[in-house]
Structure 1
């Protein structure tokens, strides 16, 4: 089992210089969203969104390009510095829709009911996954959507440092089980396989857990 500790120092070092985006499959110049994000948000009307663990900003900027007003949160200032530079290259219409915020998802509590979409993709923290996803779920507004993409246990991430670390591998059903059935409607809970190109040009196979749930509006 990996003894990696996903604290601020770990991520600052990982994103120092031209550090890679840990989400996998995105270069710094691309604005091609994670395929699960693109497919699962296609039916949604743009509104307010939280990208929790945004890395160098690919998915946050893609959402902004689709008309979402995005709060993009990451623990590493080095990652956010790269993300802000990428946003400026895209111009004011996109850059103006993203607010970059440095927070530690291990402890950060987002505003309750604050977002129409809460999205996390390959989030690695030292917090127990149940605690993390309950806090993210609480940030979804009534009628809004929680979208979680994680590493499914059937596969190994391209970065060996992530393999076997607690909380980095889980099924969509494990996330679904954290949600109150009376408050949430689970719309997607899948295991999916895809290929992605990493920074050195290699193609790798990723086994993803994808959870999309809608928070019910109540009576």
Structure 2
């Protein structure tokens, strides 16, 4: 996930309130510790599949699930989107807000003060328990993997947040072509395009599938390792 622009992540399992709070704290603390261990975890570039699939979309309201250090949200804001960017890690969100301000400072001469900042709302939440209160023109989720996450739960929330005429974009590691580094030892964390379509109920007459595929790409690990891995990519338009 370091090989991408942003590695995105997750919340906790269901349970009673006390247990849920403990698991939420555990997930948040784990990711806070990971982010706190280095000044930067991800590359700072937007995810390649977001650029490929999202560049031609008409800007509107976007939801970025598991925004990490903010590269995707900032890329969308720079193209006119109003973005709600959510993550479980407070450290990641603080870093994302700083990156947003850095981008704003760089572009202020051309865009004017506040042009990017006014378009992004950062929010800390447990992605498995959180439910948005509005609908979006684009819901984007990239590499929402983790041992604490039952991925269909969070991604069903993502699909439900797409308004009619809007776009759902989900990208993840394909289980048969995983990076040979990092925490990729739990096969249930990952999914094929077919699994995504089936688990999320992305089918006619409610959805039109625009892209459901696997794409190979070269990747570089956190210690400079080189490998060719595969992304699962699903882009669909909600019809009703």
Alignment of 1:204-215 (within 5 A): 204-215=227-238
Tell me whether 1:38 sits opposite 2:88 in the alignment. Answer: no
CA contact (8 A) 2:86 2:125 kept: yes
Is the CA contact (8 Å cut-off) linking 2:175 and 2:187 kept in structure 1?
no
Q: Which of 158, 168, 177 pairs up with 1:136? A: 158
Out of 46, 55, 59, the position equivalent to 2:72 is 59
Return the alpha-carbon distance in structure 2 between the equivalents of residues 108 and 158 of structure 1: 31
Contact 1:53-1:75 at 8 Å conserved across structures = yes
1:146-170 superposed Cα distances (whole Å, 9 cap, x missing partner):
000011011123543233253x210
* Partner Cα separation in structure 2 for residue 72 and residue 159 of structure 1: 27
Partner of 2:94: 81
Contact 1:51 1:119 in 2 (8 A): yes
Seen in structure 2, the aligned counterparts of structure 1 residues 144 and 78 have a Cα distance that, compared at 3 Å, is: same
Separation in structure 2 between the aligned mates of residue 18 and residue 72 of structure 1, nearest angstrom: 22
Given that residues 145 and 190 in structure 2 are in contact (C-alpha distance below 8 angstroms), is that contact kept between their aligned partners in structure 1?
no
Contact 1:117 1:147 in 2 (8 A): yes
Deviation per CA, 1:65-101: give whole Å up to 9, x if none. Answer: 1111111100000100110111111113223211100
Q: Which runs of 5+ in 2 are unaligned?
A: 1-11, 13-25, 105-113
Structure 1 gap segments, 5+ residues each: none
Count of matched residue pairs: 204
User: Does the aligned pair in 1 maintain the 2:181–2:221 contact within 8 Å?
Assistant: no
Cα shift readout 1:190-215 (whole Å, capped 9, x = no counterpart): 01111133444443322110000100
1:117 maps to 138
- For residue 10 of structure 1, the aligned residue among 1, 5, 30 is 30
User: What's the C-alpha RMSD, in Å, of the aligned pairs?
Assistant: 2.0
Whole-angstrom distance in 2 between the partners of 1:59 and 1:34: 7
- Bigger-Rg structure (1/2): 2
**By how many angstroms is 1:175 displaced?**
1.2
Aligned to 1:183: 206
Structure 1 residues 157, 9: closer, same or farther in 2, change over 3 A? farther
Q: TM-score w.r.t. structure 2 length? A: 0.78
**1:51-71 Cα deviation digits (max 9, x unpaired):** 000000111111111111111
For 1:33 and 1:44, the matched residues in 2 are separated by 16
Q: How many Å separate the matches in 2 of 1:172 and 1:100?
A: 29
